[in-house]
Amino acid sequence: METAVITGASGFVGSHLVDELLNRGYHVIALVQKGFENQMKNRENVTTIGFELDNVMEIVEILKNLKPKYFYHFAWAGPSGEARADTKLQLQNAQWTIDCIRLAKEVGCERFINAGSIMESETWAAITKAGNKPGLGYIYGSAKLVAHAMAMPVAASIGIDLIWAQITNTYGVGELSPRMVNTTLRKVIRGEAPQFTAGTQHYDFVYIDDVARAFYLIGKNGKPFNSYLIGSGKAKALKEFLIEMKESVAPDLDFIFGDIPFTGVDLPLSEFDCSKTEKDTGFKAEISFSEGTRRTIEWLKEEEK
């Protein structure tokens, strides 16, 4: 039986990966914040351990005895809201990533799979574009870039395989954050007409079940010291996605485009190319945006009862 460590195992992506790996016959070591161990209680083939990111080495001996092969890192403080602009916190996240790489090596893991973000590409484009004034949200993306840049030489120097998986935009059942899909679907449930930018910027969305499967395949098949994009493989203008959502879950509700200014950067479609991920790992998204938003809104309706 293969054994995998997952930090942030009770979070949105982490919890779905737990389920994916269990279904594949893995033993999962779920690392969760101290005090929240009960969130993963009484699950077969799951060992739950409370830990703190600022003292990861305190669990070295426990993990050594469990002999894990894979180490998936999702724990990241302040991924949304005002905390995305907290420079001290976001830089600390980068250091915690390095600490987890060293922990993984110390306990005998062969592979370290990190959750990166398409925000890395967007941030680089925003900060290098002459005359551009990036918004504070790019501080989060900058920390992901720093973590990536530091992780590569550290992993190489200590001899552990590093694989960097960059998520485009994930959504689905179980997400509680105020990100676009969730916010829009909640407005739909209330009968409010959602407002957007003109929606001409390129975008991609990938459903959470596909994301979990992608991480399993990237961990198993990904080539060391490579980056893999996790997306639908069908990136397009944001407006096209939103019209697809409207037709799927709110055909009688107005979606208003152009009332909100767009202040970000528009990445070229080439930045959303997932062909390398498919070639190396075998991952290809299966759930359409229409189907994914249908599943998500039904779950949200139940949550709001």
**Within-domain flag for 155:** yes
Which of 42-46, 138-142, 209-213 shows the lowest mean pLDDT across its residues? 42-46
Please state the length of the chain: 305
pLDDT digits (tens, 9 = 90+) for 99-112: 999 999 999 999 99
Residue 282 within a domain: no
Instruction: Tell whether 174 is covered by a domain.
Output: no
Q: Which of 123, 160, 153 is nearest to 138 (CA)?
A: 123
- DSSP state string for 159-185: T-EEEEEEE--EE-TT--S--HHHHHH
| Confidence (pLDDT) at 43 | 84
- pLDDT value of residue 36: 78
Question: Per-residue pLDDT for 39 more than 90?
Answer: no
Q: Residue 37: what pLDDT?
A: 80
Confidence label for 22 from pLDDT (cuts 50, 70 and 90): very high
List, for residues 117-145, the tens digit of each pLDDT value: 999 999 999 999 999 999 998 999 999 99
For 143-153, how does the pLDDT look when each residue is reduced to its tens digit (9 = 90+)? 999 999 999 99
Q: Is residue 281 one of the residues assigned to a domain?
A: no
Q: Is residue 177 over pLDDT 90?
A: no
Per-residue pLDDT, 35 = 80
Q: CA–CA separation, 172 vs 120, rounded Å?
A: 22
CB 262 within 8 A of CB 198: yes
Share of the chain above pLDDT 90, in %: 91
Give pLDDT, residue 157.
98
Q: State the average pLDDT over residues 218-239.
A: 98
Mean of pLDDT values over 9-37: 94
Looking at residue 264, what is its pLDDT? 87
CA–CA separation, 77 and 79 (whole Å): 6
Domains in the chain, number: 1
238 domain-assigned: no
Spatial separation of the C-alpha atoms in residues 53 and 120, rounded to whole Å: 22
pLDDT score of 296: 98
**Half-sphere CA count of 301, side-chain side, radius 13 A:** 10
Classify residue 74: in a domain, yes or no.
yes
Is the pLDDT at 220 greater than 90, yes or no?
A: yes
| CATH number of domain containing 162 | 3.40.50.720
Query: What integer best gives the mean pLDDT of the chain?
Result: 95
pLDDT at 229: 98
Please determine, for residue 42, whether its predicted confidence score (pLDDT) is greater than 80: no
Answer whether residue 59 is part of any domain.
Answer: yes
Write out pLDDT tens, residues 260-305. 999 889 999 999 999 999 999 999 999 999 999 999 999 999 987 7
The range of the structural domain enclosing residue 138 comes to 3-167
Q: Is residue 202 part of a domain?
A: no
Q: Reply yes or no on whether the pLDDT at 31 is more than 80.
A: yes
